[in-house]
Structure 1
Amino acid sequence: MPSATPLVSLCQQATFIKSASQVEQCPLDRGYEVAFAGRSNAGKSSALNTLTHARLARTSKTPGRTQLINFFALDEQRRLVDLPGYGYAKVPLALKEHWKEHLDAYLTGRDSLAGLVLVMDIRHPLSDFDRMMLEWSDVTGLPAHILLSKADKLAYGAAKNVLLKVQTIVRKEYGNRATVQLFSAPKRQGLEEAYGILESWLFAEEEPEDDQAPDLSEGED
């Protein structure tokens, strides 16, 4: 079980704020928020639900059901964001293009976005969608953290091998901008590490107060 921290307590109290089909409908751009992205059927909704101890994100046997940008409040200044999934979604091409347009607008114009959690099925890591998201985060300077979900579907040794391979590729192609871990929602594996990443982003240290600087005005003529 993860140790009790302010973030864990906040996650247990997470509440739905609103859904947005376009960036103009998003909540006020202030505070800190972390976005969760993943190819359809990667386990993104299950990961969100496990981390928040609640059924916030909608899970479905029909992949691609997240068709809006969904916002969940942890407190007045911190939010988690569930982004639309891509891949298997059986929706009209026009709707996919609508998602992409407004997702791009959200990712490039949201000042409060502090980090990106990218959920990948450990059996199918680094898809074209995954690489696109990693390249975007690398170019914009946004930190990314990869959850290799459904780790319980592989034997421990096999899962560790995939972890090492993905870590090697990510380090080579994206440097230290992205980190990687194993994760399993049903086994509650990897919660401690995931919470640590979220806490570092959502509780970023504030800049030192200006009044702490030495007063150089005294003694002047």
Structure 2
Amino acid sequence: MTSPQTLNYRKAQFLTSAPTLAACPEDSGAEVAFAGRSNAGKSSAINTLTNQKSLARTSKTPGRTQLINFFSLDDTYRLVDLPGYGFAKVPEKVKLEWQRHLSDYLQNRSALRGLVLLMDVRHPLTEFDRTMIGWADESELPLQLLLTKADKLKRGAAMNTLQKVKRELAGFSGDVQVQLFSSLQRQGVTELEQRLNELLLGQ
């Protein structure tokens, strides 16, 4: 069966939640995972991409996503919402456990075709972000960096941050792209869709 030229992200449906790699759906087909600090706007970005208000759970309390959440586009293709980090009011032991499962997923999931890493445009490249970039590099995973909440900065300042992040990642050996994104203004959605099509469909 030939793969479609583009995927319809508005058809995304919740599939399942998994606490560990072992509990994830069958490791077949293709999926792209979304990761980011708890306040980076990850759930909002997924909801904006799929044009659904509550597909991914948003919360006034950052860090509520403690499971690996899977959303199916069809029988073959999936989006994955990974646990957020940084502001969750949970014991350190629990955070370390999340981190272990996250690393396990990124390095051992065969269906994983790429990682979308979301960073608040006002606070990019935190220690967590750099850890994720390092994991992606080790796993030879293509990386799409979304500088979220771009509407919070004036265009000139947002563009300056974009260029600064691109310069910092110049030494990254893998396939990495950086873009501005705003869920509020739907900025960068088309660019993200095109990148996801490339990663999921192998275009």
Q: Tell me the TM-score normalized by structure 2.
A: 0.94
Report 1:101-116 matches (<5 A). Answer: 101-116=100-115
Asked if structure 1 preserves the Cα contact closer than 8 Å seen for 2:37 and 2:118, the reply is yes
Corresponding residue number in structure 1 for 2:42: 44
Q: Percent identity among equivalent residues? A: 56
Asked if structure 1 preserves the Cα contact closer than 8 Å seen for 2:103 and 2:135, the reply is: no
Q: Report the residue type matching 1:125 in the other structure.
A: P
Task: Report the alpha carbon displacement of residue 97 of structure 1 after superposing the two structures with TM.
Answer: 1.9
Deviation at 1:167, TM superposition (A): 0.7
Residue in 2 aligned with 1:71? 70
Provide, for residues 90-118 of structure 1, a one-character-per-residue CA deviation record: whole Å limited to 9, x for no partner.
01222212211211211111000000000
Q: Which amino acid aligns with 1:118?
A: L
Deviation at 1:176, TM superposition (A): 5.0
C-alpha distance in 2 between matches for 1:94 and 1:135: 22
Structure 2: distance between partners of 1:204 and 1:77: 13
Q: Which residue of 1 aligns with 2:22?
A: 24
Does the 8 Å contact 2:33/2:115 carry over to 1? yes
Measure the CA separation in 2 of the matches of 1:83 and 1:167: 24
Q: Please, which runs of 5 or more residues in structure 2 have no aligned partner?
A: none
Q: Which residue of 1 aligns with 2:116?
A: 117
List structure 1 segments (4+ residues) > 4 angstroms apart after TM superposition: none
- Alpha-carbon distance in structure 2 between the residues aligned to 1:47 and 1:63: 14
Amino acid at match of 1:24: A
Q: In 1, distance between residues paired with 2:37 and 2:93?
A: 18
- Structure 1 gaps of 5+ residues are 206-221
Q: What is aligned with 1:6?
A: 6
Question: Could you say what secondary structure the match of 1:6 adopts?
Answer: coil
Counterpart amino acid of residue 185 in structure 1? S
User: What is the DSSP-based 3-state SS (H/G/I as helix, E as strand, rest coil) of the residue aligned with 2:179?
Assistant: strand
* Structure 1 Cα separation of the partners of residues 190 and 173 of structure 2: 23
Residue 136 of structure 2 corresponds to which residue in structure 1?
137
Question: What is residue 164 of structure 2 aligned with on the other side?
Answer: 165
Distance 2:43 2:106 in 1: 19
Q: Deviations over 1:147-173 (max 9, x none)?
A: 0000000000100000010011111x3
1: CA distance, partners of 2:146 / 2:55? 18
**Residue in 2 that maps onto 1:91:** 90
Q: Which letter does structure 1 place at the counterpart of 2:86?
A: G
Question: 196-205 or 67-76: which moved more?
Answer: 196-205
**Aligned ranges 1:142-153 → 2 under 5 Å:** 142-153=141-152
> What does the per-residue CA deviation read over 1:152-208, in whole Å, with 9 as the maximum and x for residues that have no partner?
00000100000010011111x314521100000010000111111100011115xxx
TM-score (norm 1): 0.87
2:177 — aligned with what? 179
Equivalent residue in structure 2 for 1:195, among 183, 193, 196? 193
Bigger shift: residues 97-106 or 76-85 = 97-106
Which whole-Å CA distance do the structure 2 matches of 1:160 and 1:140 have between them? 29
Once residues 20 and 98 of structure 1 are traced to their aligned partners in structure 2, the CA distance between those partners, rounded to angstroms, is 14
How many residues matched? 198
Q: Which has the larger radius of gyration?
A: 1
